[in-house]
Structure 1
Amino acid sequence: MGIDFGVILAYGIGLILLYLIGMLLVIPIKMIIRLVINGVLGGILLLIVNLIGGFIGINITINPLTAILTGFLGIPGVILLIILQYIL
């Protein structure tokens, strides 16, 4: 009826593995949520640019690619899209 260190060690290793697996599952979910939020914010920024830019002839099509690009890069992404629109 002594202390079985093998069982205690197994529980400890199991808890560490459970923590590591949990972290591996949480990190991708955080990245996906951040991508969705940035895409929505990018779409809103594009909408504002289209509303203001309509007076001077700037119009950027809002689609998932432009929204995500703007979400990742922010204002430089909008400037990049405007430049690409006039180059292509």
Structure 2
Amino acid sequence: MNAVRLVKKLLINTVLGAVLLSVINFFGIYFNFYIALNIYSALIIGILGVPGLILLIFLKFMV
């Protein structure tokens, strides 16, 4: 896998994860559920994509 493909995939994962995180935070207001957008959550979502978002949701329920 070359560097351009890797950066492209990372960008797509980050954008998709950020959009889904925004949707979850928007509808989460009604259920008192919010995931903070900081450097750590952005890195997890950027690297793992949607499974990273699911991981953050799972960790939020665990705490």
TM-score, structure 1 length as denominator?
Answer: 0.56
Unaligned runs of 5+ in 1: 1-25
In the alignment, what sits opposite 1:3? none
Calculate the aligned-residue CA RMSD, in Å.
2.2
Unaligned runs of 5+ in 2: none
Q: Which runs of 4+ in 1 moved over 6 A?
A: none
CA deviation digits over 1:33-83, x for unaligned, max 9?
A: 210221111111100000011100110012343234335241x43332122
- Give the counterpart letter for 2:60 in structure 1: Q
Identity %: 34
Number of aligned positions between the proteins:
62
In the alignment, what sits opposite 1:10? none
CA distance in 1, matches of 2:31, 2:22: 15
Bigger radius of gyration, 1 or 2? 1
In the alignment, what sits opposite 1:33? 8
